[in-house]
Amino acid sequence: MALIEASHGSKVSQDNHQVRTAWSMTAPALALMFLILLVPIVVAGVLSFSNYSLGNTGFDWVGSQNYERLFSRSTYEKMFIATFTYVVTVVPISVGLGLGAALLVHSLGRVGDIYKTIYFLPVMATLLAMAIAWEFMLHPTIGMVNRTLEIACGTWLETIPFFLQGCEGSFPLWLGDRDYAIWVVCFIGIWQGFGFNMVLFLAGLTSVHRELYNAAEMDGARSGWEQFRLVTWPALGPTTVFVVTISCIRAFQVFDTIEAFWPQGGGPSKSAYVMMFAIFEKGIQQNLIGVGSAITMLFLLFVMFLTLIQRWLIERKVHYG
């Protein structure tokens, strides 16, 4: 009996030693995570209830005044509309195009490496430099986009005069018209993001075993659509969860394009005034730290809420092989 108790005590002591060792090894990482991630969020949350500005020796508590301002002024209403328009447009289209491009490239074998490189180029390029290039292409008079439309319309009018009757008029001011500004930003976001999603889906496709397709074919799923619906799509469940999560976060973080196009205003009539630009404008340019912190807290809340919702909805039908 004494031998058993001694053995049990030695095992407990060894377990305690392992626990202490584990905590001592993870403590630096946890402390760094706390300082870098949690402390700034807490500080921003506290400042969001004040009128603090950099350079001031003190500040006053204003309670929920900053948040009330966000939900009562038309400028911030435009901010919410522009942000959610961008997210709702860019995320599903970039995910869908990324999946389609991944399936196409995966089916082409080694030839698909060429298309993989082409589709991934916008991801590797600096978005600020690409925004400047797009600004030149969208120029109303010398831009390639309007010139191409002009040539195309001229050709169509010669062959099918009734096809495009509005081609005789002037083309849109893509970056100067409030009806087009946010959609131009959405287009660039899709163009820049779907290549990244394609690479993620390609990684997921490599984990789908060929035996699953053979078994599905033996069960009668012979067409490509049936095999995709019964095998590929369920097997890509974990990858889809990750891609949608990353795409949502990246969509909420859009800033470079808008800063390059409209550095002082967030688009014509604030039509592209997204949350990240509002944080930059209020917190940095105008030194309204309290208002900027309030927008930051709402930004974090929206990202967390949408991430949790989409994970809950998608993971209900996710297949983990």
Cα gap 146→312, rounded to integer Å? 44
For tokens 């009562």, the residue is 72
Residue 167 confidence (pLDDT) above 60 = no
Classify residue 36 by burial, with Cβ atoms within 10 Å: 0-12, 13-18, 19+. Answer: exposed
Residue among 91, 83, 280, 97 at smallest CA distance from 189: 91
Mean pLDDT along residues 85-98: 93
pLDDT at position 91, please? 92
* pLDDT, averaged across the chain: 80
The pLDDT confidence band at residue 163, using thresholds 50, 70 and 90, is very low
Domain assignments of the chain as residue spans, ordered by start: 73-138+174-315
The pLDDT confidence band at residue 164, using thresholds 50, 70 and 90, is very low
Q: Whole-prediction pTM value?
A: 0.82
- Chain centroid offset of residue 117 CA: 21
Mean pLDDT along residues 237-258: 87
Lowest mean pLDDT among 29-38, 151-160, 231-240: 151-160
Residue 3 confidence (pLDDT) above 80 = no
CA atoms within 13 A on the CB side of 164: 15
Find the helix or strand (DSSP H, E) in which 219 lies: none
Three-state DSSP at 60 gives coil
Name the CATH superfamily for 73-138+174-315: MetI-like (1.10.3720.10)
Residue among 86, 83, 48, 85 at smallest CA distance from 69: 48
- Chain centroid offset of residue 194 CA: 10
- End-to-end Cα distance, the chain: 47
Instruction: For residue 195, count other CB atoms closer than 10 A to its CB.
Output: 21
Q: What is the pLDDT of residues 260-277, one digit of tens each?
A: 888 777 888 888 899 999
Residue 46 confidence (pLDDT) above 60 = yes
